[in-house]
Amino acid sequence: MSSVPERSEIDEEYTWDLESIYTSDDDWEAAYEAVAERVAELEAYEGEATDDAETLQTVLELRDEIMREVSTVFSYARMRSDEDTTDQEYQAMSARAQSLAADAQSAASFIEPELQDLTREEFESMVDEEPGLETYDHYVDDVLRMKPHTRSAEVEALLADLSEVTGATGEVYNMLSNADMSFPTVEDPSGESVEITQSNFVNLLKRPDREFRREVYEGYFDEWSDVRNTVAASYKNSVKADVKMAQARNYDTAREAALDGPNVPVDVYDNLVDSVNDNLDKLHHHAELKREALEVDELQMWDLYMPLTADEGPDVEYDQATEYIVDALEPLGEEYQSRVAEGLESQWVDVYENEGKQSGAYSGGTYDTQPFILMNYQDDISSMYTLAHELGHSMHSELTKEEQPYVYSDYEIFVAEVASTVNEALLTNHLLETVEDPDFRKHVLNEFLERVRSTLYRQTLFAEFEHEAHRLEEEGEPLTADRLDEIYGGLKERYYEPAEIDDRIPREWMRIPHFYRAFYVYQYSTGISAALAIVDGIDENGADAAEDYLEFLRRGSREYPLELLRVAGVDMSSSEPIDRALETYGRRLEQLDDLLT
């Protein structure tokens, strides 16, 4: 019987070192109480923040100090809860930390409306009086830019207080999908029982036995059908909250509001969707090659994750994966390489799946901690790439916090997904250049193609789905489970035209947790496009291009995303990087096609 181990069964060296933050939960409690008391210090300055330069500097520095402490308290509680989402004690701790974060945001909510009473010239005069305010120049520029969408201090405080409520749908969904839902156990061709989980579902769809894949696929999605109306209600209210918050801030649409935060024009979103739709023929060709490789009359939805090599691929144990990754990062310089190697040896990573563990993967930690990476490593090439991806996020954070003050450490997702995907592209290049085994090389090339398919194409499909869902809500149309299925099923039919669209795949939207962060997923698509352009530049220009890229990482959020990417040599205001990435996808697809014939 194949089963997921309890956390206590995982060797300590393969778990993250949360004791480096707080040595015990009692220490966390003390830190929580201490910073909770400090939150009130901010409120004392309400109505006085911009009275003079000295007060403004005091207020901004105090806010940063408090937010740094709150973020560490929150991060620890969240990660403890993610170790086992069924642990009620850590769920309660995480909820308290979330409430504390909301309280801190509420206490600080008066700052930006008061800053917006200043003119640019008045702020510059304050900088002359208190040179320390120069640190906040870009931050203030951003605040002043948002003045048309910022409400009074009273309303901003109310909106901050409501953040915990408006974000509740995501928490409900997370508890449902990770803690309360259970999926069937199926028997594989060897007679072994295999428990389907959120973490291993896609991996099971790569098994060579087609009937087994069908059984996994149907069993998994049939479980979702039992909670279909619950998930639809959850997502409907998440969309409604996005729309209401956008309206509260004087935006015409929720999409405009989401993209305006990082100062990304909606044209960037539209360019992405247009370029991808203009290149669906390449995705259709990929699907047709899968059908031929599988030697079937029709490609079914449970066939989509099968590699073109028609088997599961080689095992890549975790320790081997870390070696490949570190070697692949050589073009970024010895210092970058050694930092990654040291981190991997210092328990940055919580490696393996355990009972109740949060599914998926992420890079966490705070300005005052080491990075922490949650994985559910499955001993395969895909997991190796995911590890490389998350290490890109972690190193971005490390380089940023070394060079930037706290106010610029929380870089925008638009640029964050570049760092992660640069690592993936470098790993692909390294493996194709150094590994001689032809089967391994085919699987690496297949992994590259699947990453582009699932990132550039699939995430753009998701982007179209959530854009349409929000548009319907904004126009007053009801978002029922049937309507959401209809939207998603229609997109799936267009994107995967050569495949058979069955009656289960329209429910796939229900299993995507990223939809609870509105207009987030498109940045994976723009990110991979920018990353491939950066790696091309490093291949062509060597150390100089690598240094430009590292400088981009070091700048954190000190500039707006499109400006930052120009430092790395990429212009995302045009469709050129997207079109080039799609050309690379097509070229690699032909390359693997030739190897297989």
Asked if the structure places residue 171 within a domain, the reply is: no
Give the residue-averaged pLDDT of 489-506: 96
Contact 247, 193 (CB under 8 A): no
Contact 491, 227 (CB under 8 A): no
pLDDT higher than 60, residue 95: yes
Asked if the structure places residue 501 within a domain, the reply is: no
Could you report the per-residue pLDDT of 67-78, keeping only the tens digit for each? 999 999 999 999
- Global pTM reads 0.83
pLDDT at residue number 198? 87
Quick one: which H or E segment has residue 193? Answer: strand 193-195
Helices (H) and strands (E) in the chain, counts: 25, 5
Residue whose entry in the numeric block shows the structure tokens 């640069």: 422
**Coil, strand or helix at 299:** strand
Asked if the structure places residue 332 within a domain, the reply is: no
Asked if the structure places residue 387 within a domain, the reply is: no
Q: Please, which pLDDT band fits residue 383 given cuts at 50, 70 and 90? A: very high
pLDDT at residue number 441? 87
Contact 531, 320 (CB under 8 A): no
pLDDT at residue number 596? 84
Q: Please, which pLDDT band fits residue 55 given cuts at 50, 70 and 90? A: very high
Q: What single-letter amino acid sits at 352?
A: Y
pLDDT higher than 70, residue 300: yes
Could you report the per-residue pLDDT of 445-473, keeping only the tens digit for each? 998 998 899 999 999 999 999 999 999 99
Give the residue-averaged pLDDT of 48-61: 97
Q: What single-letter amino acid sits at 504?
A: R
Q: State the DSSP code for 572.
A: T
pLDDT at residue number 151? 83
Asked if the structure places residue 477 within a domain, the reply is: no
Q: How far is CA 498 from CA 27, 455, 555, 589, in A?
A: 57, 20, 44, 16
Which residues are CB-contacts of 161 (< 8 A; sequence separation ≥ 6)? 102, 106
- Alpha helix (H) residue ranges in 453-575: 458-474, 481-495, 522-541, 543-554, 561-567
**Coil, strand or helix at 132:** helix
Percent of residues, the chain, with pLDDT higher than 70: 99
Task: Name the residue with higher pLDDT: 164 or 66.
Answer: 66
d(CA 97, CA 103): 10
In CATH, what number is assigned to the domain containing residue 12?
1.20.140.70
Asked if the structure places residue 66 within a domain, the reply is: yes
> Which candidate, 515, 376, 535, places its Cα nearest to that of 448?
535
pLDDT at residue number 154? 82
Mean pLDDT of the chain: 94
Asked if the structure places residue 539 within a domain, the reply is: no
Give the residue-averaged pLDDT of 297-313: 88
Report the number of distinct structural domains present in the chain.
Answer: 1
Asked if the structure places residue 20 within a domain, the reply is: yes
Tally Cβ neighbours within 10 Å of residue 470. 22
Could you report the per-residue pLDDT of 76-88, keeping only the tens digit for each? 999 999 999 999 9
pLDDT at residue number 415? 93
d(CA 467, CA 454): 18
Burial of 161 (0-12, 13-18, 19+ CB in 10 A): middle
Tally Cβ neighbours within 10 Å of residue 134. 10
The dihedral formed by the CA atoms of 73, 76, 82 and 83, expressed in degrees to the nearest 10: -150
**By mean pLDDT, which of 2-16, 148-162, 336-350, 535-549 is the weakest?**
148-162
Domain with 142, as residue range(s), is 7-166
d(CA 61, CA 514): 33
pLDDT higher than 60, residue 2: no
Burial of 77 (0-12, 13-18, 19+ CB in 10 A): buried
Which residues are CB-contacts of 136 (< 8 A; sequence separation ≥ 6)? 60, 407
Q: Please, which pLDDT band fits residue 1 given cuts at 50, 70 and 90? A: very low
Q: State the DSSP code for 499.
A: B
- Alpha helix (H) residue ranges in 261-377: 266-278, 280-294, 318-328, 334-345
Tally Cβ neighbours within 10 Å of residue 143. 19
d(CA 226, CA 496): 26
Q: State the DSSP code for 183.
A: -
Strands 372-374 and 349-350: parallel
Task: Name the residue with higher pLDDT: 410 or 493.
Answer: 493
Q: Please, which pLDDT band fits residue 310 given cuts at 50, 70 and 90? A: low
Beta bridge partners of 194: 2, 186
Give the residue-averaged pLDDT of 351-357: 94
Residue whose entry in the numeric block shows the structure tokens 């989401």: 258
CA 587, chain centre distance (Å): 27
d(CA 495, CA 273): 12
Contact 278, 531 (CB under 8 A): no
Could you report the per-residue pLDDT of 532-582, keeping only the tens digit for each? 999 989 999 999 999 999 999 999 999 999 999 999 999 999 999 999 899
Cβ-count burial 342-379 (b if 16+ within 10 Å, e if not): ebbeebbbbbbbbebbbbebebbbbbebbbbbbbbbbb
Q: Is 464 left (phi over 0), alpha (psi -120 to 50) or beta?
A: alpha
d(CA 264, CA 275): 17
Beta bridge partners of 380: none
Catalytic residues: 390
**By mean pLDDT, which of 167-176, 270-279, 573-582 is the weakest?**
167-176
Give the residue-averaged pLDDT of 192-209: 90
